[in-house]
Structures are given as structure tokens and as C-alpha cells.
Amino acid sequence: MKIEPKDPLQASTQNSTETTQSRPTLRTVFLDRDGVINRKMPEGQYVTSWQHFDLLPGVPEAIARLNQAGLRVLVVTNQRGVALGLYTAADVDAMHTKLQRVLSVSDAHVDGFYFCPHDKHQCNCRKPLPGLFEQAKKQFPEIEPATSLVIGDSLSDIEFGHNLGLQTIFLEGDESHRQHQKPGASKAADLADRRFPSLPDAVDYLLA
């Protein structure tokens, strides 16, 4: 059965005759990777291989629920570690292949992976710049900002979504995570449409 989440980020007006400002149905969810799908490494450290890919609790099930709801699930991730020579683009692809295999155990899948391998100020695809959205749109021309949402744990994710006109959800992490959040976290929390501790919490809300 296909669930069609309506106006996911609008306070639902019980009275359906109130039709003003209703948003189109959500179709595409852009997920940041590190800090959303897998545990983020301490600031300045990178997930260089599958060995360091620590899947966060409940994430495969949360992605499976998005899949079952008929939503397109895309991963958009800045991987500056490639530009720094810490790992290669092929290593990133290999991690994503492995991730896809692990997700499949929970009947979950990602419809597309897009990553920026560049250093700062060298490209148009390092979030918050829009290049990764454009790459996704090239593969799925039906993607529209008005029916898309980004979920991330950094200001760059929220600015990426905000600049493109996507809805935005900021993941604040749990109590312990919040204590060593990077600069920009409070700005991201303010700018985002919604805030939740984790991806499963955000999905609970979206599919409620």
C-alpha cells in the first residue's frame, strides 16, 4: 500500500476546506550521509573506509519506511577527504555499494548517491552549493524543489536546502552529541523548518 504523505511540514489543518498554502506532496528526500545515516567522526576526521562506517540505530528501518511510502531517497554528501588524499572516489563508491547491500537486508535502498570529492571553493557541488541537486535532477528530471526535502546535521545541509527552496530538517543528535556540535549548529537549527534528534524521529514525523 502506498502512503502519500500530505503537507509533511505544514501544521495539518483539521479542516480540509482550508486550502490556502498547501504544499504539494513530498516525493524526494535528500539525506546527508555522515551524522544522518552513519555516526559522524570527530570534527576533522573522515570516514575513510567501511571499517569506520558506523550505521546509526534504526536507520535501515527508517529508510525502508521512506521506500515503502513511495518516496525517492537520495544521498548527498560532501567528501572533502578525497581532495585531501585520505581516500579515493572509488573508496566512496565501494562504501556506498556496501551500504546498499547492508540496507537490502532490511528491505531498504537508496535510489542515488551523489558526493562532492572537492576541497572548499573549487566547485559547484560542495554543499551548500547546488551541484549535487543538479546532478540528481539530471538523473531524475521529475525532481522539483517544492516536492523535495533535505535532512542533514550541518549548516551546509540546511543552507543547501534553503537556497534551493527545499524543505529542511535539521538533526540535532542526542544529548551527548549536542555538547560537541560544530559552529553553525544553532544557526542551522534556526534556519531549518523542523528539528529532530535522529533520522528515525524525522521519518516518524513525515509519515505520521
Three cell numbers written together for 136: 540528481
Q: Is 174 a catalytic residue?
A: no
Site string for Mg ion, 139-178 (x = CB under 5 A): --------------xx------------------------
**Do the beta carbons of residue 75 and residue 108 sit within 8 Å?**
no
Three cell numbers written together for 39: 555516526
Q: 10 Å Cβ neighbour count for 51?
A: 8
**Interface with Mg ion (CB under 5 A), residue from 34, 114, 135, 149:** 34
Site string for Zn ion, 29-68 (x = CB under 5 A): ----------------------------------------
**Interface with Zn ion (CB under 5 A), residue from 33, 72, 96, 126:** 126
> How far apart (Å, rounded) are the C-alpha atoms in residues 162 and 107?
31
What are the start-end ranges of the E strands in the chain?
28-31, 72-78, 112-116, 148-152, 167-171, 194-196
Piece of 93-101, 126-134, 173-181, 193-201 that binds Zn ion (CB under 5 A): 126-134
**Do the beta carbons of residue 130 and residue 160 sit within 8 Å?**
yes
Least separation in angstroms between CB 115 and Mg ion: 12
Q: Which residue has its beta carbon closest to Mg ion?
A: 35
Least separation in angstroms between CB 131 and Zn ion: 6
**Interface with Zn ion (CB under 5 A), residue from 59, 69, 73, 125:** 125
**Do the beta carbons of residue 91 and residue 48 sit within 8 Å?**
yes
Q: Could you list the residues that contact Zn ion (CB under 5 A)? A: 116, 118, 123, 125-126
